[in-house]
């Protein structure tokens, strides 16, 4: 149970906590081996905003929706008015704009790193269109992930591809408004299994620095090798002023589509702790975009998102309970047990009663999942979408 002081810390932390929902998290998705359809999945951008509105309605901390340009705005700037209207209807706003330079057939050998100049230009044009979409939607972040790389030694000039990437990212950065940011994401492999053009945080950092002052690094918590110390990467990027945002999820082996905290909640807690400890030390707010990046292939999509948001709130609340003064003193004197226990004590605290109190004070349900289930929304959209979503789906049941 939390005491009054702990409840105060948790309420203050949650008042400023916001986490962005991914539009694609509400749609039917799958693995490279296949896709299992869900009757209630969203197929249109209108349905995605409607579903996201439910998550924000019951949790109160998800006011924005990350958008994938080809999936949500297939006509580019021509779809901006519809997206703006949908966001307003559901009490939301457009979040990070995600270009797609990995899906079309022309990107078989890469996008900004492609040896074909015409394909590099096509990719660049799409990035610049995405920047323009962000301007028109008043969306601050343009979030860049590239599948570029190669599968076999000797088949690509890695140094030349680096130079092409630098050129493309600089050109993209030059088109940003002063209020916009460019977030550079990294991934060690998949789909490129020999070399990946942006394969780790150091490469992303160098590309961001080369691009310009409005470029930062985006950390996807699933895009790391098993034993990698992600919170150390976070600490370094914070110290360098180069941490722009997160894609939160979880993973057991190499993929990154499991729901946040389902495998290692202590890791996400440690990440939040490093951020809050940095803020305590510096007295400055870290300008970081918290985003979810998950594909719910087995769990119900809206319920999985509510579960994820509740987990994020709990882990952020736990991190807010770390006694920073005691921790700093323990670190300085190398009191190892005492310092480690500052984290373990906070992590073991049951913050759920304080979160329920916070919700009630702000007119939110104490149990978001139950409120959603009682609303009847899932049953209604399942009935509306079932025939379309399940058409042609065979079953051996």
**Residue 178: band (very low, low, confident or very high) from pLDDT cuts 50, 70, 90:** very high
Mean pLDDT of the chain: 96
pTM for this prediction: 0.96
Query: Angle, nearest 10°, between helix axes 45-59 and 377-390?
Result: 160
- The pLDDT tens digits of the residues spanning 243-267 come to 999 999 999 987 778 999 999 999 9
**pLDDT reported for residue 7:** 97
Evaluate if residue 149 carries a pLDDT over 80: yes
**pLDDT reported for residue 287:** 97
User: Concatenated DSSP letters for 191-219?
Assistant: S-SSEETT-SHHHHHHHHHHH-TTEEEEE
DSSP alpha helix (H) spans, 90-192 = 117-136, 158-174
Per mean pLDDT, which range of 22-31, 95-104, 135-144, 328-337 is the poorest? 22-31
Evaluate if residue 345 carries a pLDDT over 90: yes
Evaluate if residue 335 carries a pLDDT over 90: yes
Residues 6+ apart with CB under 8 A from 177: 135
Evaluate if residue 113 carries a pLDDT over 70: yes
Q: What is the CA radius of gyration of the chain?
A: 21
On whether the CB atoms of residues 7 and 13 are closer than 8 A, the answer is no
For tokens 């044009």, the residue is 125
Euclidean distance between CA atoms 259 and 263, whole angstroms: 8
Q: Which DSSP category does 30 fall into?
A: E
Residues 6+ apart with CB under 8 A from 257: 29, 222, 249, 251, 294, 295, 296, 297
Evaluate if residue 69 carries a pLDDT over 60: yes
Strand locations in the chain (E): 21-22, 30-31, 34-35, 64-68, 93-98, 141-144, 149-150, 181-185, 195-196, 215-220, 243-248, 289-292
> Which two structure tokens, joined as six digits, stand for 344?
């373990």
**pLDDT reported for residue 87:** 98
Evaluate if residue 394 carries a pLDDT over 70: no
**Residue 396: band (very low, low, confident or very high) from pLDDT cuts 50, 70, 90:** very low
**pLDDT reported for residue 257:** 85
> Which two structure tokens, joined as six digits, stand for 221?
């918590």
Euclidean distance between CA atoms 37 and 300, whole angstroms: 11
Closest CA to 187 of 130, 149, 214: 149
> Which two structure tokens, joined as six digits, stand for 286?
């870290």
Domains of the chain (ranges; CATH) run 4-376 (3.20.20.150)
**Residue 397: band (very low, low, confident or very high) from pLDDT cuts 50, 70, 90:** very low
On whether the CB atoms of residues 16 and 316 are closer than 8 A, the answer is no
Q: Which DSSP category does 113 fall into?
A: T
Evaluate if residue 112 carries a pLDDT over 90: yes
**pLDDT reported for residue 395:** 56
User: Concatenated DSSP letters for 232-249?
Assistant: HHHHHHHHTT-EEEEEE-
- The pLDDT tens digits of the residues spanning 24-67 come to 999 998 777 788 899 999 999 999 999 999 999 999 999 999 99
Q: For 234, how many CA atoms within 13 A lie in the half-sphere containing its CB?
A: 28
Residues 6+ apart with CB under 8 A from 298: 36
């Amino acid at each position: 149970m939390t005491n009054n002081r702990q409840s105060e810390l948790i309420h203050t932390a949650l008042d400023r906590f916001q986490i962005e929902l991914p539009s694609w998290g509400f749609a039917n998705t799958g693995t490279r081996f296949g896709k299992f359809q869900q009757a209630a999945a969203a197929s249109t951008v209108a349905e995605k905003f409607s579903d996201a509105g439910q998550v924000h309605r019951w949790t109160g901390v998800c006011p924005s929706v990350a958008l994938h340009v080809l999936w949500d705005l297939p006509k580019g700037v021509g779809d901006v008015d519809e997206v703006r209207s949908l966001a307003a209807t559901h009490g939301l706003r457009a979040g990070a704009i995600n270009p797609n330079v990995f899906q079309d057939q022309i990107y078989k050998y890469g996008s900004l790193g492609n040896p074909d100049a015409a394909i590099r230009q096509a990719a660049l044009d799409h990035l610049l269109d995405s920047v323009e979409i962000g301007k028109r939607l008043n969306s601050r972040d343009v979030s860049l992930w590239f599948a570029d790389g190669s599968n076999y030694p000797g088949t690509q000039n890695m140094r030349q591809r680096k130079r092409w990437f630098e050129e493309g990212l600089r050109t993209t950065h030059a088109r940003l408004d002063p209020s916009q940011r460019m977030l550079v994401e990294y991934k060690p492999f998949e789909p490129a299994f020999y070399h990946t053009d942006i394969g780790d945080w150091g490469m992303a950092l160098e590309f961001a620095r080369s691009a310009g002052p409005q470029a930062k690094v985006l950390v996807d918590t699933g895009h790391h090798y098993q034993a990698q110390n992600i919170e150390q990467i976070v600490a370094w990027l914070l110290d360098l002023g180069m941490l722009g945002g997160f894609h939160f999820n979880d993973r057991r082996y190499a993929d990154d589509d499991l729901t946040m905290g389902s495998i290692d909640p202590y890791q996400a807690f440690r990440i939040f702790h490093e951020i809050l400890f940095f803020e305590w030390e510096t007295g400055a707010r870290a300008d970081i975009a918290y985003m979810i990046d998950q594909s719910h292939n087995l769990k119900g999509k809206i319920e999985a998102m509510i579960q994820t948001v509740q987990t994020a709130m709990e882990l952020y609340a736990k991190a807010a309970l770390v006694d920073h003064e005691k921790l700093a003193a323990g670190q300085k004197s190398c009191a190892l047990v005492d310092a480690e226990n500052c984290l373990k004590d906070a992590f073991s605290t049951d913050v759920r009663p304080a979160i329920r109190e916070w919700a009630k004070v702000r007119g939110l349900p104490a149990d978001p999942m139950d409120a959603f289930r009682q609303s009847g929304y899932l049953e209604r959209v399942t009935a509306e979408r079932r025939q379309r979503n399940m058409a042609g789906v065979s079953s051996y049941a």
